Each structure stands twice: as C-alpha cells, then as structure tokens.
C-alpha cells in the first residue's frame, strides 16, 4: 500500500508540539485519519526532519490518557484520590465565573495562574494582567531563568529561545551542560553540519551521552563548578592577550570608568558626564573613557579616541577611577587554572589548552563578510567580521544556585573573545537584542494590585534598580512566589516551584484559587514531590483546604490532574489553533523575525476545548477590558478571531501575529488587522519569516540600521546602543542599597548580607548554596537528571511507541564509584539526600564523572497515572529524583523559608542536590520507592488496549 493507492489522501501543515521546539510538520490524512506525520521540508526550524517524539504524535493523539470531559472532584473525596464526576462546560464556566468574579472584585491577587511547558504566555500573561493578579508566571523560574537573566543582563540576549550559536560559520564549538535543548532538531542539524565542515566540537558535561557522544573532545566536569572554569579561561585569555580588544572597547562597557571612591554613594558605579540625556528605559550613553593619547577622560565613543582598558586614573575632581576591564582583570587574577582545576576536576593543562584553542581560533581565523553596515555612533564599516568560536549552554549551568554568575562569566568569556552577534559566534533572534535590562516592569508596590482593575504593570518584568522591586513598603513580597522581592530580586520568570508551598503556608498570604495550566506540579515539575502532594490536599483546623480551590487544565491524566477540584480538558496540538507569537517566544532565525501558528488538522476529541477558548470565554464573562467592547459585550467570537483582531492598544496595529498584517496582508509587525491572516499563514507553511537585509543581520546591539528598523517596527521603543555589561552597574546598585548607601528601597536587615554578597558587579565563583549547607562527607555525590531525546518530561509514557524506548529508568553510576559501595551493575540501590531517599536500579556507566550520578528525567510515574496499567514498569521500576530535591533551603539567618534557588534570579537549583548511594537490602521488594497509591481512570477516559495494539491509518486494532 503506497500513500496514494487507497483512501482519500490529504496533507495539512501545522506546527508540532510534542515538545517546545516547534518544528513544522506535514500531517498526511487518509480518509480524515492520521496516516503519517513528517517534518515539513519548507519549514525554517526543522527543514523536513523530525524527531522520535514528533514521529510518535499518532500515539499521543490516540492515548488512553486523554481527558475528554470537564471533571469535578467528587464531593467529600480527597484531592489526589482521582475521584471525579463529569460535568458540562456550562457548569464549569459558571463555577469559574462566579468564583473568579468574587476574587477580582475583592482581592485579585488571591487568584494565581501558573503555567508549565506551554507556549502561549502572551495570552495567559494578558489574561492575568487583565484580571489584575500579580500572581502569574510560566515555567521559566524552575526551568532556565538563570540562562535568560544571566545573559540578557550581560549581552541583551540569551541562549534558550532567544539566540544561539552560529554553527554555519563557527570553527570551534563549545557546548556546556546541554543534553537535548529546546532547539532540539535545529541544534542536531547544525551540529552535524558543523562536524562535517571540519569544526572542532567540545562538550563540557559530567556525562557523555547524546550530543556529547559525538563531541571531538569530552571535558567531564564536577556539577556546579563551571563558573570556576570560565573564570580561569578568562584569566588565561587576558594573561596571554588573547582577547578582542577592539570589540571590548567599542561594544562593551570594558573601557568605561568606574568610580573607585569608597566613601562615595556612587562607589562602583560608572562615572557619568554632564551631557543632555533623553528619556530612555536604560542607562544613557554619558559614561567616560580614559583617552590613551590625550591622557584624560573623554565621553565614550568620542570619534578617534582609543581608551585604556587597564590602569588606574584620577579625574580632575580627584575621583579615583578604573576602567571596568581593569576590575575584571583584578577579579580573575587569582582564578588561575590551578585553582579551577582543584574545583572542577579538569586538569590544568586542559584548561590552559582550551583557553588557547579558543583564543587563537578567535584571533587567527577571523571571518570577514563583504557586508557594509553602520554602527549606532554613525561610523560606517566596510565589512562584518567575526571570530569563529561559538558556545551553547543550557540547564547544566542554569539549574544551579550559582548559575546566574556562572552564566555571567560565560557571557563575559564570549564577549572577551569578541563573539557576540557576529558570524561564527553567538547570534541574536528577534525580538532580541533587548536593552539591558529590558524595559518591561512590574508594579513597584502593592498599589499596583487593584480590585476590579487590571494590574498596573506587568506581572513579570526586568528590574533595573532596587526601586523596581515589587515589594510592600516593609520590603516583603507582593507576589505569592516572592518574585522581585529582596530574596530573589531578579526573578524575571517568577518562582513557580515555590507557589504551592507558599500558598499552603499562607506566606506571604493565603490565596483562593490556583489555576495550573499544563504543568505536572504534583510530580515531575515539583521539588520535594511527596510533601508538596500533601500540601495540595492539606486542610486547616476547620477542615477547609489550605489552598481552597485548585483548577487544572491538562490534556492528559497526569498526576497533577488528580489533585484538581476542577479539571478542564484541553485539546492536543493537532486539534487547535495556536500562535508562536512575537509577544512571547517566537521561532525567529538569526536572519530575522519568524513567528508561526498551529492550525487544527483533526477535530477535538470528546468535549475537549482549547485553553485559549476557555480564557477568552472567561475574559468575556468577567468583562476583562481586553476581551469586551465599551458596552461590556464580548469582543471576540473565538481564539482565531481574537488573534486577528486583538491589538495591544486599540489602533496600535500590533497583535499576536506579526505576519501579513494590514488590510491586504502587506504589512509586517505593525498594521491593522487582516481578516485573512490565518489563511495567509496556512498558505505559507504556518510560518511568517521576515528576512532582514544582510546589513541588519549582525552586530545588532550596535547596528544603527537594525536598531532603527526595530524601532520603526516597534520591536523596541529605543534605538540606542546595547553595550555589553562586562561590569554590571545594575547589580552594583543593589549592592549599594544593601550597604545602605542609596536613597531608594533597601533590603530588610536579614537580607542585606545576602544581597551584598550575590549582587557583585563582576562574576565570581561560589559553591552552590545547597552544597555549602550540606555535609559533603556524608553526601559525597552530585545527582542530576538528563532529558532523554525520545521523551518529553512526563508527557510521553502514555505513548505506546516511545515508552518502549524508556520504560523505566536507571541510576547511572561510574563503576568505580559503585564499587566503593559494593554495588553491582543492575543492583537495586538507595539514593539518599538530606531531604529524602529514592530506591531504583543502578546501571554502570564509564561515561559518567565519578562524583556524579544521574538518571533520565521524569520517567517514573504514579501507578495508574496516565491511564497506564498499575503494573507498568514506569510505576514499579521507574523513579523520580524530585523526591530528593527540596524546594526550600534549611533555616538560616537570611531566612526560614528561602527557596532552594539562585539568590539573584530565583532559578530552581535542581542540580545542586548532594546524595549518597548504598545498596538496597536483598530482602527489600524489587520496587522503586517511594510508592504511591494507585489512580483509577477518570470518567471519559478512552478505552485502553490491554493485550495488544496495532495502528493502521486511523484504524486501531487489538484487544
């Protein structure tokens, strides 16, 4: 049987969502049923390829774990018992409307909306803001906010979904702490092309699997110590003079003079000249250089001036000053390879050699592209040049409580090598670069939260100084997750991982309704899982739930669903409209902005309803301004209609989709709504790709053409240079506040020391907080997880094909490490941290650094969850490391309930946990531990094939 030989065949393009990579897919339907899902060859992201998950979409579509009806917890039943009764959508909406209306009219912050691996933060964020609650965030806080914050506060862009390595032109590629990445397929495509072009690929990772497997050199490192490595690399590069001086001078703040007068309230801040300053959201260009020739201070970027990068000088008024770079030199002086070697476990020679390879490749293999461009200071350049050393890093750096400074160090390393938004180095993706920091701000205090009114500001923002913090007058947090408070001032993605604990404890205050969208917070996305599950079901002395009302919108029967009072069954990605919006995280390429959409290829199953429709319905019922007209009437027929007609401000011409705006679809980014916008996307592979002129594609932090273009198209408000913050006066301001040297907001006493320590304007190495607080003789090992390429978090155990690849998980241990405990390959072992213990099976691995143990993430499942049979391996042999990881640090002077997170950004410190390993007693059951009660299927669950199953183009055989 070939595709054509029988049945009505049609193909439809849409966007995959078996993971967050958002590849274009082509779905072939046979008589309306899915025959085949393949990569769309004309899609910029995946160029026709697909991954193991994407190619298994059929089994997700037909999963017995699908939710098909709105569900209400049976009266009197416990949360977690999974006892539900099916209700109608009318009932569900009525229930929500009444409850939410009351909250909004009284105290909007008592409604909290948190979302997981979704890609619709533009809409969920809008809904929260319109509702008026500050208690909104997506998964970023427990995902990789360190990556975003660490890099955006330094170079105005970041890895993750905001930028990446230009492997087309790089000669040396260093990948750090990456197992699979968000950019799954594109990264694979790029790495293999890179290798075939003869580039050298180095992977820094305690474990060698996946990408690292094909690295030309594997550099095993002790978890949490990369900061030390980067600082030592910078040390060598500076010592050898292997840095790109021209780049540092012109495009970073390296040469800017820092006030060194200890008694001044401006100590450690850049000295500013008296020049007219126009209103901007970030620091104006009024800093000083020290002219090497004239031997005096001049305004930066004065034509013809070549400043010193090093030295100490005194201003006419007697102020002692140093160029920022000099401070960096002093900072890394003692960060020698010998020092780093002891911490990272990487041989001294290796560290020095790596630095030399980077430095020499960057210096001697310069790329020169015949592309003329003009910098923001008006200087014309004949060519675009680049240094072909590219980096990529992800959660191996981010998921540590020292991640922010580690990633600052990496960004500075990349800048010292002169590789920012240049060919062969790091490249931005629109709408990046952003000003440092980006302009979005939260309200500055409780007054921003007003009954019956939208939030006065964004729920998430980018503090530029202490006054931007979102705190009560006494300095305590306004947000339930304590984001933007003195505990985690730059928690730009919130702290989803602390929401349940805080709400349960009523600290800073109790809430009423918690709406969780697309997050398995009762399982794999929660730290301290066992306790958090108790909190979700915990009642006060009057027998009332401590978290009064829990709503979960999910598409499948996850562990979290069982804790809901109300379950909203979502559609799958093949059943709904979606947008990958410029207002969120578009799929932009290096060469210009790209956004994309999903268009349904099959009808929704049962009573499933897209969450988008739910929000629009609720928004209309609650009469949230954005969703109703002046007469309070519902404004949008449905989500597709909303996407076409919604504008960020009436008449602004900016909406969720940037492509084909304007009456006839002739405009990009800004233009009146286009009734045929969806059709245009449908006709064009569901993608709008705006390729920038070549001269706008590089050096965008300082590229006049680009910045003005971005300003014209309202990607940004200001066409100002975005100088790289080698030295961060933003951080210094917080430190000054902590030292009591500023007028504005100051941290509460108990946090002054913490702020002063961690808000260092230059990166420094410190051991992850949990390590500092743990007895490392008792818990000698680091425990981390990795993403399996063929599984997406908790989603895919329901997938009959994928679960055959990862049916349960093992703990991978270096044989020498295992031997010290007399553990044999395949033995049942206990992994124990100060917070809990887990039993699972051990698998020897020579590809694992001896001080590290690891396992595949999120394979273990609760019995019966995901409508798997209770005997499924996932539930009997599979395990989660989450039980070992605490969401809070042990009580300490800085606070009783500090989050187990980065003190700067609130990034969850997943990979900080320390463990010990010992053999399980032969008499113990051969079952993973902890054990959980079995979940029964929920009403409306599709039948589950017990014995066998075979799929043929929509027909499902078996019994």
**In the range 832-891, which residues lie near other proteins by CB under 8 A?**
843-850, 867-869, 871-873, 876
**C-beta closer to other proteins: residue 292 or 891:** 292
* Residue indicated by tokens 């110590």: 225
Instruction: Tell me the backbone φ, ψ of residue 131, rounded to 5 degrees.
Output: -65, -35
Structure tokens at 808: 């349960």
End-to-end CA gap in the chain: 24
Taking the least distance from each CB to other proteins, the nearer of 19 and 730 is 19
- Contact at 8 Å (CB) between 562 and 80? yes
- The count of residues interacting with ligand MGD (CB under 6 A) is 60
Residues 779-798 close enough to bind ligand MGD by CB under 6 A: 784-787, 789, 791-795
Q: Which does 177 bind (CB under 5 to 8 A by kind): other proteins, ligand SF4, ligand MGD, none?
A: ligand MGD
| Shortest reach from residue 53's CB to ligand SF4, in Å | 4
Q: Quick one: which segment of 32-40, 431-439, 684-692, 902-910 binds other proteins (CB under 8 A)? A: 32-40
- Least distance from ligand MGD to the Cβ atom of residue 655, Å: 23
Locus of tokens 């531990």 = 929
- Write down the least CB distance from residue 588 to ligand SF4, Å: 16
CB-wise, 143 or 738, nearer to Mo ion? 143
- Quote the CA–CA distance of 324 and 180 in Å, as a whole number: 36
Query: How many chain residues are in contact with ligand SF4, going by CB under 6 A?
Result: 13
Taking CB under 6 A as the criterion, the residue among 395, 434, 803, 839 binding ligand MGD is 395
Residue 318's binding partner out of other proteins, ligand MGD, ligand SF4, none, with CB under 5 to 8 Å set by partner kind = none
- Three-class SS state of 301: coil
* Angle separating helix axes 337-344 and 348-364, nearest 10 degrees: 120
Binding characters for ligand SF4, 165-194, by CB under 6 A (x = yes): -------------------xx---------
Residue 176 site contact among other proteins, ligand MGD, Mo ion, none (CB < 5 to 8 Å, cut-off depends on kind):
ligand MGD
Q: Residue 829 is encoded by which pair of tokens?
A: 């072992």
Which two structure tokens, joined as six digits, stand for 388? 């072909």
799 binds ligand SF4 (CB under 6 A): no
Angle between the N-to-C axes of helices 226-240 and 337-344, in degrees from 0 to 180, rounded to the nearest 10: 160
Residue 342 contacts other proteins per CB under 8 A = no
From ligand SF4, other proteins, Mo ion, none, interface partner of 381 (C-beta below 5 to 8 A by class): none
Distance CA 842, CA 858 (A): 17
Quote the CA–CA distance of 767 and 224 in Å, as a whole number.
7
Q: Which of residues 897-926 bind ligand MGD (CB under 6 A)?
A: 910-911
Binds 304: which of ligand SF4, Mo ion, other proteins, none (CB < 5-8 Å by kind): none
- Residues 484-543 within binding reach of ligand MGD (CB under 6 A): 517-520, 524-525
Partners of 810 in beta bridges? 841
Q: Which among 716, 722, 725, 718 has a CA at the least distance from the CA of 702?
A: 722
Among 35, 53, 110, 395, binds ligand SF4 (CB under 6 A): 53
Residue among 72, 107, 240, 602 that touches other proteins (CB under 8 A): 240
Counting every residue written for the chain, the total comes to 959
CA distance 559 to 935: 9
* SS3 labels along 660-729: CECCCCCECCCCCCCCCHHHHHHHCCCEEECCCCHHHCCCCCCEHHHHHHHHHCCCCCCCCCCCECCCCH
Footprint (CB under 6 A) of ligand MGD, residues 846-865: 854, 857
How is residue 140 written in tokens? 């970023």
Residue 796 or residue 894: which is nearer to ligand SF4 going by CB? 796
The stretch near other proteins (CB under 8 A) out of 38-46, 599-607, 637-645, 896-904 is 38-46
Based on the shown chain and the rule CB under 6 A, indicate whether residue 204 belongs to the binding site for ligand MGD.
yes
SS3 call for 508: coil
* Helix, strand, or coil (residue 506): coil
Q: Which of 816, 926, 931, 936 binds other proteins (CB under 8 A)?
A: 816
**Contact call for residue 547 and ligand SF4 (CB under 6 A):** no
H-type helices in 457-528, by residue range? 496-505
Query: Does the bond joining 437 to the residue before it have cis omega, within 30 degrees of 0?
Result: yes
Nearer to Mo ion by C-beta: 128 or 143?
143
Is there binding between residue 587 and ligand SF4 (CB under 6 A)?
A: no
Q: What is the DSSP string of 519-551?
A: --TTTTT-SSHHHHHHHHT-B-TTS-BSS-EEE
When the beta carbons of 325 and 844 are compared against ligand MGD, the nearer one is 844
> To the nearest whole angstrom, how small is the minimum distance from the Cβ of residue 496 to ligand MGD?
8
444: three-class secondary structure by DSSP: coil
Residue of 602, 773, 927, 949 interacting with other proteins (CB under 8 A): 949
Nearest to 399 by CA among 9, 924, 907: 907
| DSSP letters for 344-399 | H---HHHHHHHHHHHHHHHHHS-EEE---EEBTTS-EES-EEE--EEEEE-HHHHT
226 binds, among Mo ion, ligand MGD, other proteins, none (CB under 5 to 8 A by kind): ligand MGD
Residues 6+ apart with CB under 8 A from 421: 157, 163, 427, 428, 433, 698, 699, 700, 701
Q: Which stretch binds Mo ion (CB under 5 A): 3-11, 143-151, 487-495, 803-811?
A: 143-151
- For residue 366, state whether it binds other proteins (rule: CB under 8 A): no
Q: Is 396 in the site for ligand MGD (CB under 6 A)?
A: yes
CA dihedral 215, 221, 223, 228 (to 10 degrees): -120
Asked whether the beta carbons of 884 and 857 are under 8 A apart, the reply is no
Least Å distance between CB 892 and other proteins? 36
- The sign of the dihedral angle between the CA atoms of 679, 685, 686, 690 is negative
Nearest-angstrom CA–CA distance, 417 and 242: 8
Q: Which is nearer to other proteins, 553 or 789 (CB)?
A: 789
Three-class DSSP category at 139: coil
Window 133-172: residues binding other proteins (CB under 8 A)? 172
Q: Does 48 bind other proteins (CB under 8 A)?
A: yes
| Site membership for ligand MGD, residue 881 (CB under 6 A) | yes
Among residues 148 and 536, whose Cβ is nearest to Mo ion? 148
Position among 34, 51, 327, 790 found at the interface with ligand SF4 (CB under 6 A): 51
Residue 873, binding choice from other proteins, Mo ion, ligand SF4, none, Cβ under 5 to 8 Å by partner class: other proteins
Q: What is the closest distance, in whole angstroms, from the C-beta atom of residue 15 to ligand SF4 in the complex?
A: 8
Cα–Cα distance between 104 and 97 in angstroms, integer? 10
Q: Does 358 participate in binding ligand SF4 (rule CB under 6 A)?
A: no
- Residue with tokens 């980077």, as numbered in its chain: 358
Q: How far apart are CA 488 and CA 508, in angstroms?
A: 14
Cis ω for the linkage preceding 431 (within 30 of 0): yes
Structure tokens at 501: 């604990």
* Stretch touching ligand MGD by CB under 6 A, among 201-209, 375-383, 420-428, 500-508: 201-209
Stretch that binds ligand MGD, among 84-92, 139-147, 297-305, 820-828 (CB under 6 A): 139-147
- Nearer to other proteins (CB atom), residue 342 or residue 652: 342
Among 13, 14, 16, 483, binds ligand SF4 (CB under 6 A): 16
Q: What is the DSSP letter of 901?
A: B
Residues that bind Mo ion (CB under 5 A): 143
Interacting residue ranges for ligand MGD, rule: CB under 6 A: 19-20, 116-117, 139, 142-144, 176-182, 184, 204-207, 221, 223-224, 226, 394-396, 400, 517-520, 524-525, 553-556, 558, 560, 570, 572-573, 611, 784-787, 789, 791-795, 854, 857, 881-882, 910-911
Site for ligand SF4, rule CB under 6 A? 16, 18-19, 21-23, 46, 50-51, 53-54, 184-185
């Amino acid at each position: 049987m070939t595709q054509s030989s029988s049945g009505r065949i049609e193909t439809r393009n849409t966007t995959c969502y078996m993971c967050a990579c958002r590849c274009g897919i082509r779905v072939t339907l046979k008589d309306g049923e899915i025959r085949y899902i393949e990569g769309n060859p004309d899609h910029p992201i995946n160029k026709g390829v697909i991954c193991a998950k994407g190619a298994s979409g059929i089994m997700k579509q037909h999963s017995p774990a699908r939710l098909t009806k709105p569900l209400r917890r049976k009266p009197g039943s416990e949360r977690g018992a999974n006892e539900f009764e099916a209700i109608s959508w009318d009932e569900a909406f009525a229930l929500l409307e009444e409850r939410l209306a009351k909250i909004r009219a009284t105290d909007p912050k008592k409604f909290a909306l948190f979302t997981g691996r979704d890609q619709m933060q533009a809409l969920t964020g809008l809904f929260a803001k319109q509702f008026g609650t500050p208690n909104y965030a997506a998964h970023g806080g427990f995902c990789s906010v360190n990556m975003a914050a660490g890099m955006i506060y330094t170079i105005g862009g970041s890895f993750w979904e905001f930028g990446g390595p230009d492997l087309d032109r790089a000669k040396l590629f260093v990948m750090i702490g990456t197992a699979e990445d968000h950019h799954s397929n594109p990264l694979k495509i790029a790495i293999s092309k890179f290798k075939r072009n003869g580039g050298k690929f180095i992977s820094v990772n305690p474990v060698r699997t996946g990408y690292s497997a094909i690295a030309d050199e594997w550099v095993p490192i002790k978890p949490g110590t990369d900061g030390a490595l980067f600082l030592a690399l910078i040390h060598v590069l500076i010592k050898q003079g292997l840095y790109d001086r021209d780049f540092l001078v012109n495009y970073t703040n390296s040469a800017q003079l820092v006030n060194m007068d200890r008694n001044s309230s401006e100590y450690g801040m850049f000295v500013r000249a008296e020049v007219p300053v126009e209103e901007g959201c970030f620091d104006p260009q009024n800093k000083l250089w020290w002219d090497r020739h004239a031997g005096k201070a001049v305004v930066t970027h004065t034509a013809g001036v070549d400043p010193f990068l090093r030295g100490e000088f005194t201003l006419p008024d007697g102020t002692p000053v140093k160029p920022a770079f000099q401070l960096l030199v002093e900072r890394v002086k003692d960060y020698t390879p010998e020092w780093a070697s002891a911490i990272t476990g990487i041989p001294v020679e290796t560290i020095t050699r790596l630095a030399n390879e980077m430095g020499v490749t960057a210096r001697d293999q310069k790329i020169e592209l015949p592309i003329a461009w003009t910098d923001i200071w008006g200087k014309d350049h004949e060519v675009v040049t680049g240094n072909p050393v590219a980096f990529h890093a992800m959660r191996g750096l981010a998921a540590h409580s020292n991640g922010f400074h580690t990633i600052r160090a990496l960004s500075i390393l990349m800048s010292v090598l002169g590789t920012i938004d240049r060919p062969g180095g790091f490249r931005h993706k629109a709408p990046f670069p952003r000003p440092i920091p980006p302009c979005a701000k939260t309200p500055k205090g409780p007054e921003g939260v007003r009954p019956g009114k939208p939030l006065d500001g964004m729920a998430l923002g980018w503090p530029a100084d202490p006054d931007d913090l979102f705190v009560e007058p006494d300095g305590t947090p306004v947000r339930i997750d304590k984001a933007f408070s003195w505990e985690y001032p730059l928690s730009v993605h919130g702290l989803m991982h602390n929401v349940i604990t805080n709400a349960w404890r009523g600290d800073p205050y109790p809430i009423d309704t918690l709406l969780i969208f697309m997050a398995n917070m009762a399982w794999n996305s929660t730290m301290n899982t066992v306790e958090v599950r108790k909190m979700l079901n915990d009642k006060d002395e009057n027998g009332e739930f401590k978290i009064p009302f829990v709503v979960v919108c999910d598409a499948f029967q996850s562990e979290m669903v069982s804790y809901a009072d109300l379950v909203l069954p979502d559609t799958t990605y093949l059943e709904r409209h979606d947008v990958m919006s410029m207002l969120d995280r578009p799929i932009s390429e290096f060469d210009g902005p790209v956004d994309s959409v999903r268009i349904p290829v099959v009808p929704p199953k049962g009573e499933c309803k897209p969450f988008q429709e739910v929000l629009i319905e609720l928004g209309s019922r609650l009469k949230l301004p954005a969703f109703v007209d002046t007469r309070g009437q519902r404004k949008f027929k449905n989500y597709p209609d909303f996407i076409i007609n919604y504008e960020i401000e009436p008449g602004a011409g900016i909406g969720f989709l940037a492509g084909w705006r304007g009456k006839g679809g002739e405009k990009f980014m800004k233009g009146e709504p286009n009734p045929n916008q969806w059709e245009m996307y449908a006709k064009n592979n569901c993608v709008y790709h705006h390729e920038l002129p070549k001269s706008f594609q590089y050096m965008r932090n300082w590229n006049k053409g680009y910045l003005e273009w971005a300003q014209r198209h309202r990607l940004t408000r200001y066409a100002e240079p975005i100088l790289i913050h080698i030295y961060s006066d933003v951080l210094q301001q917080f430190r000054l506040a902590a030292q009591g040297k500023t007028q504005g907001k100051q941290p509460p006493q108990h946090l002054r020391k913490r702020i002063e320590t961690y808000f260092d304007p230059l990166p420094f190495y410190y051991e992850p907080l949990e390590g500092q607080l743990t007895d490392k003789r008792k818990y000698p090992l680091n425990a981390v997880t990795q993403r399996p390429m063929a599984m997406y978090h908790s989603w895919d155990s329901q997938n009959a094909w994928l679960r055959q690849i990862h049916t349960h998980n093992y703990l991978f241990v270096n044989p020498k490490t295992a031997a010290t405990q007399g553990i044999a390959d395949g033995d049942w072992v206990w992994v124990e941290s100060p917070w809990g213990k887990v039993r699972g099976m051990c698998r020897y691995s020579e590809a694992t650094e001896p001080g590290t143990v690891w396992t595949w993430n999120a394979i273990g499942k609760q019995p019966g969850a995901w409508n798997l049979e209770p005997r499924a391996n996932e539930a009997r042999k599979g395990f989660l490391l989450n039980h070992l990881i605490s969401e809070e640090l042990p009580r300490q002077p800085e606070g009783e309930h500090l989050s187990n997170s980065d003190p700067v950004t609130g990034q969850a410190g997943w990979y900080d946990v320390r463990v010990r390993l010992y053999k399980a007693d032969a008499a113990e059951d051969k079952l993973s531990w902890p054990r959980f009660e079995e979940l029964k299927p929920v009403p409306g669950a599709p039948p589950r094939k017990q014995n066998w199953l075979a799929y043929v183009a929509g027909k499902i055989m078996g019994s």
